[in-house]
Amino acid sequence: MDAQPGTAVLMYIAHREVESRVMAALARSGVGDVTVAQSRLLQRLDPGGMRLTDLAEQARVTKQTAGALVDQLERAGYVTRQPDPSDARARLVTLTDKGAEMCRRAGAEVARVEQEWRQHLGDDAYGALRAALLSLREITDPYL
């Protein structure tokens, strides 16, 4: 057995740290009513809106779980459901202004973390890491 964790575990550790930092930054800015589960769903939400079934699939949760999380986010004012212009029977989950502001705050914290990583690794190593992960996404993200 290797003394060091596998690559996937190392990526998870880094992701978990970013997630924790984002949640703490949101809490400091007054956003204390978003859970980690809700934030993971929001990470996959297309800015133009998307159907609940597609959101559930991309977030890799059941439609029921996604529906419950969207219900909570809607009650808190972060998302809304609007008619899908391409299908009158369907609805799109979209961010409200409040939700978009929360996502901007989260994105600002992610940018701070990535800047720390760049400083720690150096520009070349950070650039190589990012390029490798983007390339890996081609075979790991079916929603690309």
CATH number of 7-140: 1.10.10.10
CA 128 remoteness from chain centre: 22
pLDDT at 36 exceeding the cut of 70: yes
Half-sphere exposure of 26 (CA within 13 A, CB side): 24
* Per-domain boundaries in the chain: 7-140
pTM of the model: 0.90
How sure is the predictor about 144, in pLDDT bands with cuts at 50, 70 and 90?
confident
Q: What is the pLDDT of residues 42-86, one digit of tens each?
A: 999 998 999 999 999 999 999 999 999 999 999 999 999 999 998
Please report which residue ranges of 29-144 form alpha helices under DSSP H: 36-43, 52-59, 63-75, 97-121, 123-140
- From residue 86, give the alpha-carbon distance in Å to each of 47, 54, 68: 17, 15, 24
Phi, psi for 47 (deg, rounded to 5): -55, -25
